[in-house]
Amino acid sequence: MTTRSVRPKLLHTLPSFFRRLNSAAPSSISAVAAFDTAAPDPKQDPITRTDSCDRAINVDDSDKIFSTVSTTKLIRSSMILHMVAVESMVDFGMWVLNSKLMGSPLAKRIVFGAIERSFYDHFCAGKDLMEVGGTVKELWDSGLGAMLDYGLEHATDNEDCDRNLEHFIRTAESVNMHPSSSVSFIVLKITAICPPSLLKRVSDLLRWEYKDNSLHLPWKLKTLPVFADSSPLYHTPRRPAPLTREEESDLNSAHERLTKLCIKCIEANVPLLIDAEDTSIQPAIDYLSYSAATEYRKNDGDPLIFNTVQAYLRDSKERLIVAKRSADEMGVSLGFKLVRGAYLSSERQLAASLEVRSPIHDTIQQTHACYNNCAAFMLEEICNGSGSVVLATHNVESGKLAASKAMDLGLDKDSHNLQFGQLYGMADTLSFGLRNAGFRVSKYLPFGPVEQIMPYLLRRAEENRGLLSTSSLDRLLMRYESSFDHLSLFESHWKSINGMILESH
Ligand SMILES: Cc1cc2nc3c(=O)[nH]c(=O)nc-3n(C[C@H](O)[C@H](O)[C@H](O)COP(=O)(O)OP(=O)(O)OC[C@H]3O[C@@H](n4cnc5c(N)ncnc54)[C@H](O)[C@@H]3O)c2cc1C
């Protein structure tokens, strides 16, 4: 086995290496007036842009960035991120999880035990609210907030939904047990409180109503627009049958569950962050989120509901603008969470199977440009006095662009209306860089029993290819600090890990 480790000389060249690793293309952040999701303007001077953005946040000074993180934690995190980056290891893990082996209780215990002590520990905040408390405090002590995500999704029936709701209610009730303001959001996936089969039926009917406004939906509540002219409607090729009585009653129950959670969140004075899922059910998710937003706001008038927009979708910017403008006209207090989107392969597969154009941007550069344009739009809205946004991204370039734009606009960095978010266990460089620059930053903390969190962990593993651009930044910075401060102690350990990784490529 060859053993190679990264030499100090190479480590000093890291800043330029990071810039190459970071796949975000330069994008025109101010070009938001038109619905322009085209590739970035190549005429823009990237050096001027990068210089001003680099001044907004510093992600290169590892000593400063990780000053509040213990060395033991850095080493542990670094090892896990190295393992996740080895594709053969991720493929092997996926194979084991999908194999017949998992039918054996003993094998299952061993596999889940191993996952729990490694990936789960790294990416999740704990099995229950007690364990989460420690993680929230640790984050808060290092200047970061917490988005509490009881990792439930895809309920099968009403009983399942009711059980899930209890967990969300308890999570909202737990907010006051944590240091004041340390919990920035309660997270909800609508599929945990409304079965996906019903969300699909509702989405089909909403799409058909958009195509044919003579269709009357008797169950429809006051809401905001969930489509724009550019929204694809291919999921619904035929006029769907109306909801049956039972379906209407189930939809009503889902509304009631969401209402109960909204009331709990108002009592706990914490906003509710609603995740986006896949496009076959997203119209119903948006419909439920927006109808809750038209009814509820926090007691201080700030938005209670933050709905998520996925910038990898070609219609996302137009939908964001239509919903935002409509909320303003109706006096609805509403926040948005902006993400790129995590259901890339299933969206593309579905579109290919229906022989239609994928709803996702053709190139990653277009997704980057769309994300940055949507972020710029929201920052300008905030500057003009309305709106709240959570910029949920690990992309360093997007973080820098948004921070720099916020500073140019003179936005208050500590305002509730502008927050950044990264997943727990990922992109710590960006989180701490933004925090050090004075912005509000939270980590998205999934928690719950290991079996329940598996879909989330599998999404993180699947995302690994894309993560090479940003998590490698963390991996290298972590190694940088650890290897300098503790070289004598850990040199042999690092050498063997590096050797294994370099050999596997
Ligand atoms: C706090 C937080 C909350 C989140 N909530 C949600 C949520 O509710 N719903 C959801 O779907 N996701 C959610 N995500 C995940 C998110 O959508 C991304 O999967 C993840 O954050 C990576 O995107 P990024 O902005 O960090 O950018 P990067 O690290 O630059 O990653 C870019 C990724 O975009 C993908 N991609 C997008 N468009 C294209 C394209 N056209 N061609 C090729 N690849 C493309 C690539 O796979 C790549 O992995 C959340 C993320 C965070 C940090």
Which residue has a Cα nearest atom 30 of ligand 1?
Answer: 395
Q: Which atom of ligand 1 is nearest to the CA of 443?
A: 1
Report the nearest-CA residue for atom 28 of ligand 1: 395
pLDDT over 90 for what percent of the chain? 64
Picking from 15, 16, 12, 42, the residue whose alpha carbon sits closest to that of residue 27 is 42
Centroid of ligand 1 to alpha carbon of 311 (angstroms): 9
Helices 364-383 + 316-330 axis angle, to 10: 20
Q: What is the mean pLDDT of residues 414-425?
A: 95
| pTM for the structure as a whole | 0.84
Give the mean model confidence (pLDDT) for residues 262-284.
98
Ligand 1 binding pocket mutation candidate from 339, 358, 443, 457 (most atoms within 8 A of CB) = 339
For ligand 1, the distance from its centroid to the CA atom of residue 371, given in whole angstroms, is: 10
Average pLDDT over residues 92-113: 82
Sort 504 into a burial class: Cβ within 10 Å, 0-12 / 13-18 / 19+. Answer: exposed
List all residues whose CB is within 6 A of at least one atom of ligand 1.
23-24, 275-276, 308, 310, 312, 339-344, 360-361, 363-364, 367, 392-395, 421-423, 444, 463, 466, 469-470
The predicted pLDDT at position 479 comes to 56
Residue owning the nearest CA to atom 21 of ligand 1: 393
Ligand 1 centre and the CA of 46: distance in Å?
23
Return d(Cα 403, Cα 439) in angstroms, integer.
Answer: 8
Q: How far is the CA of 467 from the centre of ligand 1 (A)?
A: 9
> Running DSSP on this structure, what letter comes out for residue 432?
H
Q: How far is the CA of 340 from the centre of ligand 1 (A)?
A: 4
User: Can you spell out the DSSP letters for 166-230?
Assistant: HHHHHHHHGGGGSSTT-EEEEEE-GGGTS-HHHHHHHHHHHHHHHH-TT---TTPPS------TT
How many H helices and E strands in the chain?
A: 21, 8
pLDDT band at 474; cut points 50, 70, 90: low
Cβ neighbours, 10 Å, residue 243: 18
Distance 237 CA to ligand 1 centre (A): 29
Q: Is the CB of residue 391 less than 8 Å from the CB of residue 399? A: yes
Residue 18: which pLDDT band, with cuts at 50, 70 and 90? Answer: very low
pLDDT at 483: 53
Torsion sign, CA atoms 425, 428, 432, 435: negative
366 or 71: which leads in pLDDT = 366
Confidence of residue 295 (pLDDT cuts 50, 70, 90): very high
Nearest CA to ligand 1 atom 37: 312
**Averaged pLDDT for residues 279-303:** 97
Ligand 1: which atom is nearest the Cα of residue 470?
29
Atom of ligand 1 nearest to the CA of 312: 38
| Lowest-pLDDT choice from 43-47, 221-225, 274-278, 495-499 | 43-47
What's the pLDDT tens digit per position in 359-396? 999 999 999 999 999 999 999 999 999 999 999 999 99
Q: Which of 102-106, 238-242, 284-288, 335-339 has the lowest mean pLDDT?
A: 102-106
User: Taking the domains of the chain in order of start, what are their residue ranges?
Assistant: 8-504
Q: Distance from the CA of 29 to the center of ligand 1, in angstroms?
A: 18
* pLDDT at site 116: 83
Mean pLDDT within 273-279: 97
Q: Which residue has a Cα nearest atom 51 of ligand 1? A: 392
- The helix (H) or strand (E) run that includes residue 464 is helix 464-485
Handedness of CA 27, 31, 32, 37 (dihedral sign): negative
Residue 237 neighbours by CB under 8 Å, 6+ apart:
none
* 228, two tokens: 């724009």
Which of ligand 1's atoms lies nearest the C-alpha of 22? 30
- What is the DSSP secondary structure assignment for residue 33, as one 8-state letter? S
- Is pLDDT at 7 greater than 90 in this prediction? no
Q: Tell whether the model's pLDDT for residue 46 goes beyond 80.
A: no
CA of 394 to the centre of ligand 1 (A): 8
- Judge whether residue 111 has pLDDT over 70: yes
Reduced DSSP (H G I as helix, E B as strand, rest coil) percent helix, strand, coil of the chain, to 5: 55, 10, 35
- Expressed in angstroms and rounded, the spacing between residue 395 Cα and the centre of ligand 1 is 9
Among 16-30, 170-184, 337-351, 435-449, the range scoring the smallest mean pLDDT is: 16-30
- CATH topology classification for 8-504: TIM Barrel (3.20.20)
Q: How confident is the model at residue 61 (pLDDT cuts 50, 70, 90)?
A: confident
Atom of ligand 1 minimally distant from the CA of 361: 41
Residue of higher predicted confidence among 488 and 280: 280
Query: In the predicted model, what is the mean pLDDT of residues 285-296?
Result: 98
Per-residue pLDDT at 315 exceeds 60: yes
Residue 449 has pLDDT above 50, yes or no: yes
What confidence category does residue 423 fall into, taking pLDDT thresholds of 50, 70 and 90? very high
Which run of H or of E encompasses 83? helix 71-85
Q: What is the pLDDT of residues 243-255, one digit of tens each?
A: 999 999 999 999 9
Mean pLDDT of the chain: 83
Name the residue of 144, 310, 340, 459 whose CB sits within 8 Å of the most ligand 1 atoms, as the mutation to test its pocket.
Answer: 340
| Gap between the Cα atoms of 64 and 56, Å rounded | 15
Nearest to 275 by CA among 164, 188, 147: 188
pLDDT classification of 487: cutoffs 50, 70, 90: very low
SS3 state at 454:
helix
The per-residue pLDDT for 74 is 72
Kindly give, in sequence order, each residue whose CB lies less than 8 Å from that of residue 28, ignoring residues fewer than 6 positions away: 40, 41, 44, 369, 372, 373
Helices (H), 269-427: 282-295, 316-330, 344-353, 364-383, 396-408
d(C-alpha 449, C-alpha 459), whole Å: 17
Least confident of 21-30, 37-46, 70-79, 123-132: 21-30
Average pLDDT over residues 147-163: 95
Give the integer Cα–Cα distance in Å for 384 and 232. 31
CA 354 to chain centre: 28
Residue 267 has pLDDT above 50, yes or no: yes
Residue of the CA atom closest to atom 34 of ligand 1: 340
User: What would the mean pLDDT of 409-421 be, rounded to a whole number?
Assistant: 96
Encoded tokens for 43: 């005429």
